Copies of this chain bind each other. A is one copy, B any other.
Amino acid sequence: MKDFNIAVIPGDGIGKEVVSEAVRVLETAADLHGGLSFQFTEYPWNCDYYLEHGVMMPEDGLEQLQPHDAVFLGAVGDPNKVPDHISLWGLLINIRRSFEQVVNIRPAKHIKGVRSPLHDPKGFDFIVVRENSEGEYSESGGRIHQGDDEIAIQNAVFTKKGTRRAMDYAFKLAESRRHHVTSATKSNGIVHSMPFWDEVFKETAIDFPDIKTRKVHIDALSAFLVSQPETFDVIVASNLFGDILTDVGAAIMGSIGIAPSANINLNGKYPSMFEPVHGSAPDIVGKGIANPIGQIWTAKMMLDHFGENELGNHLLSSIENVLDSGIKTPDLGGKATTEEVTNAVINELKKL
């Protein structure tokens, strides 16, 4: 019996609505598997918690999470309650960094039954490997002068180690896929960090002679995700560029409500964290129409992470069958509720 301890953080808004549904799916998956079980422990850390306690999580929050095999998170942030930079840096980014979740993995795939805004999505299927610990997201910087003379300086910091490990991850991933890695750069305009990024990419490529490579500036690359998404397999990108590319990836999939992601700890010292790409969507809270697919697909990534790839693939097939059958939430043009979609996925899973 493989037993996994999962820390569950529903977070804010629809996070609370979709996480419980994905947990139902995971429980079904474990039952079907036989040799697998999950223990879920819920942590109520979110913007309401902040309003009550003045912090996004208790002082020993990270220690509480640490012993788990994974963190399963819904969505963090609700700008009507707490400014984003406080809620996000206090919880989401804090966990990513403290637990050395140094790469963020986000697949984007054309799913049958989901209408892409593109005429001809040509069955695109790529994964963005995003550097998740440094780069443009840095607390280094500050301001000088006041009033009309004020200046803000922001430092982006790229280390060889941080850059290299993201690239190694991308190349290894490509070995199990279509053997192609594209690097998102901007070395024609950003003249210190990006030429460094290019150098490390070149260096890494030497160690993976069977992988074809391509280097595309972020402006053109964002455009190519619209005009030729089928030409990409694995894309490796800095923290900011990965953030942008994965939202465009979610957009061409047809809804940000279905896109999953994984924050991976590579050194085994801390748990990894699984969270969908979408936010807390305060505008649709309480209506029962939040799309649970992003969270359920995120659960599939967690299964893969635990080495349960077969079960993970079954889950993805179940998702695809349900969407193809037309059982969809309103963001996808359907009429089903959060619960109905989840029930349909569970039924599919039982069939496989």
Contact = CB atoms under 8 A, between A and B. Distances in A.
Interface of A: 77, 84-85, 88-89, 93, 115-120, 136-137, 139-143, 147-161, 186-197, 218-220, 222-224, 226-227, 239-240, 243-244, 246-248, 250-252, 256
- By CB atoms of chain B within 10 A, which of A140, A223, A227 has the most? A223
A205 to B, nearest CB: 17
A190 B239 CA distance: 10
Nearest to A196: B152
Given A156-B154, A187-B84, A192-B153, A247 B227 contact: no
Nearest to A118: B117
A189 B104 CA distance: 15
Given A84-B187, A85-B187, A188-B84, A153 B193 contact: yes
B244 A218 contact: yes
Give the 6 A-B residue pairs with the shortest CB-CB distance, closest first: A141-B192, A152-B196, A154-B193, A223-B251, A219-B247, A84-B188
A151 B157 contact: yes
Contacts of A224: 251
Nearest to A141: B192
Contacts of A246: 219
Given A154-B155, A218-B244, A136 B226 contact: no
A292 B62 CA distance: 58
Contacts of A218: 240, 243-244
A204 to B, nearest CB: 13
Contacts of A223: 247-248, 250-251, 256
Given A85-B195, A119-B118, A227-B117, A154 B190 contact: yes
Contact of A150 (B89, B159, B220): B159
14 contacts: A85-B188, A88-B188, A150-B159, A151-B157, A153-B192, A154-B155, A154-B156, A155-B192, A186-B240, A218-B240, A219-B247, A222-B222, A222-B251, A223-B251
